[in-house]
Structure 1
Amino acid sequence: MHGSQIAEFPFEEIQARLQLTREILPSLGQKLLQIQPQLHIENSANSRSDLALMNRADQEIEGPLIASLRETFSDDTYHAEMDDAAEDNLDFTWWIDAVDGTRNFIHGLPLYCMSVGLSFRETPVAGAVYVPVMGEMYWAISGSGAFKNDQPISVSRIGEMDRSLVATGLPYERKEIITRLISDISAFVSSGTGLRRTGSVILDLCYVAEGRFDALWERGVDPWDSCAASVILKEAGGRLSGFSGEIFDIKQQDLVASNGILHTEMLEILKQAREIEGIN
């Protein structure tokens, strides 16, 4: 098992919250599968109505999900992609992305997921990510290892960039940083790395955790994207940081994740990309 214990870690309380989450997600995943034909992009006329379809997918799941959790844990704080108005509880805070990969979802692609992360006193401590089409549940509690369904998972042992498979994404708000994004991609292509883009940073993190991908870098990440999957990745033996190698905080927007072996080289490639672009 990977991971380290957290001081004053209320394991049983965290475990109860994660268990409820794991019970709730599959039924809501079935609901997503049922409504997907209604929310297909062919039912949309333009980009504005595309956005409405994506928002509806989130709303159909987010409300019932939070309501189900609140029935048992009413004093906790809930942050979600569609509703982020909550004030933080000093102890338990939930970070929820009801559908990550909504663009994939409305196009009928299977690469989308549901993510529920939990932090305790501002430290991510547990998370569950459910992939409805595959029936796959990734989950972890800090200090207890990472799992897909009931099987332990761990990161890859690939140690060479030219043998690696690295994921990245493109943030929705990217016009102002397009040169930076191109510099990043160019630097990784030059390294001989195999690049992939699934359209879901949460799935990418889970895929690094189980060794399907070896690393990723991403800009414009929100806390509901990173909370659950960051716990899963760390418990699988992976490493997360900011672009300069600093300890990753879920409120940071730029992250690097890896199997640990490739991390220093990932950071060096990103540094080279910034130097090429003229950013210190």
Structure 2
Amino acid sequence: MRISRTARVALGCLTAAGLAIVYVPLLLVLLNSVNTDRSFGWPPSGLTGRWWRAALHSEGARQALLTSLKAGFAATAIALVLGTLAAYAVHRHRFFGRRTVSFLLVLPIALPGIVSGIALNAAFRTVLDPIGIGFGLFTVVVGHATFCVVIVFNNIGARLRRIAPSLAEASADLGARPWQTFRYVTFPAMRSALFAGGLLAFALSFDEIVVTTFTAGPGTRTLPIWIYENLARPHQAPVVNVVAALLILASVVPVYIAQRLSSDTAGGRL
């Protein structure tokens, strides 16, 4: 489709404005992490690396980071298992209620975080409290897994739709058992989608704050919660910017890899 020069200029301006809205605040966070002024004055009065040294020696930030890593890896592991099995069942088998199951699996990611948080909080109080399991890392992992499963399910489902069923049929005709077909044919073809889904699920879990607020115990602080609690403290604000800057930098690589793997059309090769 051919568009006029005016339309191209207008679309370019709108695109630039949209990107500026997203990325200018991120650049400001990076700049404030080396700003000598505690109050984030503009323009910066100078550049310094002392806030980065302070962040590295912050015990609270290190503990929060460790908690976030534990929750993220555990939730991702659960999501990889359940999401892969669910996607394989929905997209490789025909059974009554298949579309309903698919809808119910995707629904958690569409619900507002505060609704999911309240629902999980009530469910944990009703089910876990009577058996002596309180709020803590376990409840955070379960809460995160509810929406991480959706990411893996969607990634694996999209890849399975692109894998020709004739490949599995040919494998069976050659005498391979179902497990052998999955191991040597299906799994290699969807391996990159599995890896991409795991990366995105971990990133989503690592950044989650709303559901975490409702499912974490008093002594359980993930990194987003630590940032939120310390942002209003004048002496911690520069350190918070450093932690936020590290999260921005650390998110670029996995998101880029996941995007490359998800857009791969060569059967799972990077």
- Please give the TM-score of this superposition, normalised by the length of structure 1: 0.28
- Please give the TM-score of this superposition, normalised by the length of structure 2: 0.29
Higher normalized strand content (fraction of residues): 1
Name the structure, 1 or 2, with higher relative contact order (CA <8 Å, separation 6+). Answer: 2
- Structure (1 or 2) with the larger CA radius of gyration: 2
